[in-house]
A and B are shown apart, each in its own frame.
Chain A
Amino acid sequence: MTDVHPKINARTDALLPDPGIAEHAWRPTDVDAKAERRAERQVAGLFGLSAICTVLFVVAYVTLEPGPDGDIFLGLGASNLALGLTLGGALLFIGIGIIQWARKLMADHEIVEMRHPAASSEEDREATLAALNAGLEESGIGRRPLIRNSLLGSVALLGAPAVVLLRDLGPLPSEVVGDYQGAGLEHTVWTKGMRVVRDVVGTPIRPSEVEIGDLFNAEPEAIFPTEENGLPELHGAELQVAKSKAAIVMLRIPVDELVPGEGRENWHVDGIVAYSKICTHVGCPISLNERTTHHLLCPCHQSTFDLADSGRVVFGPAGRHLPQLPLAVDEDGYLIAQSDFTEPVGPSYWERDHDDIGEQGEADLS
């Protein structure tokens, strides 16, 4: 059985007698002057290699061109490779050298140190408690509840400025409405009669140009203002906000395969349907089309929506169908929106069912 420290109360009993710390074994470097000198040379040699690597690092820094048009070595950027390998070598050789030094040449006698319990001694505890009591007594904090409580109250109230000061971190969701085109959680830049244009290029679309099974990304014309359409130009954050909510995916489905929701019978144009590209799960732009099933898969968390059936969720973690954009054709024969989305796009949120979507009316499926 092991001796138990009088103050450490662990009693992990041993069944067999403690053989005691093994006798120290001399290393070759302790007893053989040749081995000792060899180890010394090894350690110094490693430090020397490190110095060589450092010099090479500086050389590589000065001579090698970085970047995509820079020097190439084995298909890798020569600058990055050389700087990293030489820096790595410079550091590793120092590390290995020091450890070699510790293992071969530094004393390797094991030392025993006694532990002390984590707790302070009884005397220390009593003295501390006495000091604490004396301090509290002299302050009179216990005898003067009026002072104590008023202090506590005023300090607690100091939390208010900390909270209030953070108020201007951002506007409330309801406050942004009307600040810019399509502002707010329930709105996008889509308006009645706004043309649907192709993503990236911004050209308007005729229904006859769209093939069956052809899935493509589209955006509201407002993203691409021109003199011709006379729309106000969106800048910076407002443009990003507009894109983040208004992006749509379009697909032409044979009309007989369409299962339009109630009140949505005339939202398609010859089988061309438009849905919000923003996943109703956590908001990734949806993009993967399964052509034979007209299912659309979100690449982030694999929610799958049926575009022939009002964007219904057929698989995955999304809790809601994709919002559909009602389509029509203008007098020039281009696709336009009948209105903004009739429900908020993107991920669900607490007040989602609460907010009045306005004149567009509710067309929630359930």
Chain B
Amino acid sequence: MSSHITDTSKVATSNSSAAVAKKPSKVGAAAGWADERLGLAAMGKKNLRKVFPDHWSFMLGEIALWSFVVLLLTGVFLTLWFRPSMSEIAYNGSYDQLRGIMMSEAMASTLDISFDVRGGLLMRQMHHWAAMLFIASMMIHLLRVFFTGAHRKPRELNWVIGCLLLLLGTLEGFTGYSLPDDLLSGTGVRAADGFIKAIPVVGTYVSFFLFGGEFPGEAIIPRLYTIHVLLIPGLLLALIAAHMLLLVYHKHTQWAGPGRTEDNVVGYPMLPVYAAKAGGFFFIVFGVTAIMGATMSINAVWKFGPYDPTKVTAGSQPDWYMGWPDGALRIMPGIESHIGPYTIAWNIFLPIIVLPGLLFTVLLLLPFLEAWITGDKREHHLLQRPRNAPTRTATMVALMTLYGLFWAAGGNDIIAILFNSSINDITYFLRAAVFIGPVIAFVITRRICIALQRHDNEMLLHGYETGVIMRSADGAYSEKHLPVAPEKAYAWTVRDRGHVTSIEGPSTDGATAEDANGVPAPKGRLAGVREKVRALYYADDVQKPTAEELAEAHHHAEHEHALQAALDGHAADGHQFDDHGGSVSENPLRGGEH
């Protein structure tokens, strides 16, 4: 291999940077034709070789994007046969068990797609699996963005767009799985009617408008269909386009590392490498959904049968992404208020209308809240390691814990059966756990982050543990430490030292307590709150070592190397000066002189 490195005479033509302009080619002629009409060259010049940094986690958003494309393609196929009508007809297809049964045309056409259209079942299952991938990958992408600080300025608005995409994707999922009008989805729609009716003042009006009269009526499926195939997909497309345009405009964030700074972006050009990888990845996502559709049954509506408002299946649950508000609904105590002639159903209104709205608002505001607390108004293009923002990381873990507990509550009956335990106990436990759990998760995560920061400092100052145990001449044992690779050490140490305000001074702080004349700012009280929150936000944050500490530690190590080398040619033993986490300068050295 090493012999090859020097032998660059045989370098493949694709990797030679001396790509010179050749004679006018067919591609060139076509491009010329297009440019004379569209003037694309100015844009192409800037964007065709646009640089995209590489990291596995940048692929998560791509999964969402490509599964959306799969949804569009498979969805169009399904619309060719699906009949969004609630007219009752006798099923006359090839599924014996339901033949002759009265059902809506929506259900009957869903059965036709599943059994009588070749490839129809495959497209249905691919559509449903792609929907799950779409929402799951959006969620994981959101977590990646937040944990690495990619939501900070200037990308706050793209975070907002992303949150809206998640919300719309969820609604799109609900409207989609309600369309077949089978027993399970009908139960979901019926519950949705109950949620709407619980809205104070306007609930029944909204319900009657949505259903075109009393539940279930004959209007809901056609209306959900229009929302599902036209309204929400249109909004999703527009927002995805905006999301992508902002991504291109801001240029992708990148991890700190050799040569990677706040003001550059290092990676492969859009054409050809990134285009090939992203384009190839589309085929992979599409192919994986096809294999999922081939091998994994999903939403077998023929087993549930058509919707009948007097029937229900045990273990009725929505698709997983709807599980958490359903869980909140399950563990909410049954509180209802009767005020004069009016009823407020808190037991429904709070968990299913107020709570999701509230948590979504919190999600939308996270970047702005963080910027307000830190007072950081700088642009950020280098990603942060989650450990280096302990409070932020802990906040998201707390939110994830809350989500997880609500989600578990959404399956409290399944958990009770699975573990043969009392559903009452599980419910009582979860009622408390949704309040306590996130707090515990917050504290533990924050401490883990801080411990990891300390660990980083240990590694920087004293090197990593090699696992090699050394015995000194006087019989003492110690482990050999070696310095971390320079690239790694560099990447770790690219981070702020101290609070943003201590770097920037009070000038960046929009709401400083007083102006030049010592007059308190109008928001004086809020600024005081902010100071306190900020102190808590940064509390116990471990700073990277100073240059002096680093130099001293390295000096000690070298000294030890020298000492050890003198002893019989043994390699260094760095252990004696890392026996506690305090300042290195306090460490007594065995050699004494340095």
Contact = CB atoms under 8 A, between A and B. Distances in A.
Interface of A: 2-5, 8-22, 25-26, 28-33, 36, 61, 66-69, 76-77, 79-85, 87-99, 101-102, 105-115, 117-119, 166, 169-173, 176, 183-185, 199, 217, 219, 236-237, 240-241, 243-244, 247, 277, 281-288, 299-303, 313, 315-320, 346-354
Contacts of B1: 28
A347 B345 contact: yes
Contact of B121 (A66, A69, A170, A303): A66
A61 B86 CA distance: 31
Nearest to B272: A106
Contact of B312 (A31, A80, A285): A285
Given A92-B287, A173-B208, 13 more contacts: A11-B496, A26-B4, A30-B11, A66-B116, A94-B287, A107-B273, A109-B15, A118-B154, A171-B213, A282-B329, A303-B334, A350-B204, A353-B342
Nearest to B343: A352
B544 interface: yes
Contacts of B344: 350
Contact of B7 (A31, A109, A352): A31
A112 B190 contact: no
Contacts of B209: 166, 169-170
A281 B347 contact: yes
Contacts of A169: 209-210, 212, 219
Contact of B334 (A91, A96, A313): A313
A9 B443 CA distance: 33
Interface stretch (B36-44, B138-146, B253-261, B583-591): B253-261
Contacts of B412: 302
Interface in B70-105: 86-88, 94-96
A299 B310 contact: no
A155 B378 CA distance: 40
Contacts of A183: 214
Interface string B523-554: 00000000000000000000011110010000
B382 to A, nearest CB: 6
Nearest to A11: B503
A244 B190 contact: yes
B21 interface: no
B553 to A, nearest CB: 12
A319 B283 contact: no
A236 B210 contact: no
Given A95-B287, A99-B276, A16 B379 contact: no
Contact of A16 (B190, B266, B490): B490
A95 B279 CA distance: 7
Interface stretch (B170-178, B288-296, B360-368): B288-296
B216 interface: yes
Contact of A348 (B121, B343, B424): B343
B264 to A, nearest CB: 5
Contact of A171 (B96, B198, B208, B218): B208
Interface stretch (B233-241, B313-321, B445-453, B564-572): B313-321
B544 A15 contact: yes
Given A170-B208, A350-B343, A95 B284 contact: yes
A84 B191 contact: no
Contacts of B212: 169-170
B281 A99 contact: yes
Nearest to B11: A30
Contact of B116 (A67, A118, A172): A67
B338 A21 contact: no
B311 interface: yes
Nearest to A300: B316
A302 B280 contact: no
B203 A349 contact: yes
A98 B4 CA distance: 26
Contacts of B251: 113, 115
B283 A98 contact: yes
A13 B427 contact: no
The 7 closest A-B pairs by CB, nearest first: A84-B294, A282-B194, A5-B263, A95-B283, A21-B259, A98-B280, A92-B287
30 contacts: A2-B261, A2-B262, A5-B262, A8-B379, A10-B262, A10-B380, A13-B497, A21-B259, A31-B4, A31-B12, A61-B118, A66-B121, A84-B290, A88-B291, A91-B287, A95-B281, A99-B281, A109-B15, A112-B266, A115-B264, A117-B379, A172-B208, A281-B348, A282-B194, A301-B329, A301-B330, A319-B334, A349-B197, A349-B203, A353-B338
A259 B106 CA distance: 45
B378 A102 contact: no
A92 B288 contact: yes
Contact of B276 (A13, A28, A106, A217): A106
B232 interface: no
Interface string B329-359: 1111111101011111111100100000000
Contacts of B262: 2, 4-5, 8, 10-12, 115
B281 to A, nearest CB: 7
Interface in B211-253: 211-219, 249-251
B286 interface: yes
A349 B116 contact: no
B277 A112 contact: no
Q: Which of A32, A117, A303, A348: most chain B CB closer than 10 A?
A: A348
Contact of A31 (B10, B120, B203, B342): B10
Contacts of B285: 95
B283 A92 contact: yes
A250 to B, nearest CB: 13
A243 B200 contact: no
A22 B260 CA distance: 11
B10 A10 contact: no
B348 A84 contact: no
B482 to A, nearest CB: 16
A313 B336 CA distance: 12
Contacts of A18: 258-259, 261, 490
A69 B351 CA distance: 45
A94 B333 CA distance: 54
B285 to A, nearest CB: 8
Given A67-B95, A316-B427, A352-B343, A95 B263 contact: no
B290 A299 contact: no
Given A76-B295, A350-B200, A243 B309 contact: yes
B51 A112 contact: yes
Contacts of A176: 208, 213-214
Contact of B336 (A87, A303, A319): A319
Contacts of A277: 310
A253 B343 CA distance: 32
B268 A111 contact: yes
A67 B94 contact: yes
Nearest to B246: A118
B217 A241 contact: yes
Nearest to A90: B287
Interface string B494-522: 11110000011000000000000000000
B477 interface: no
Contact of A11 (B126, B378, B413): B378
A12 B313 contact: no
A241 B214 contact: yes
Nearest to A62: B118
Nearest to B277: A102
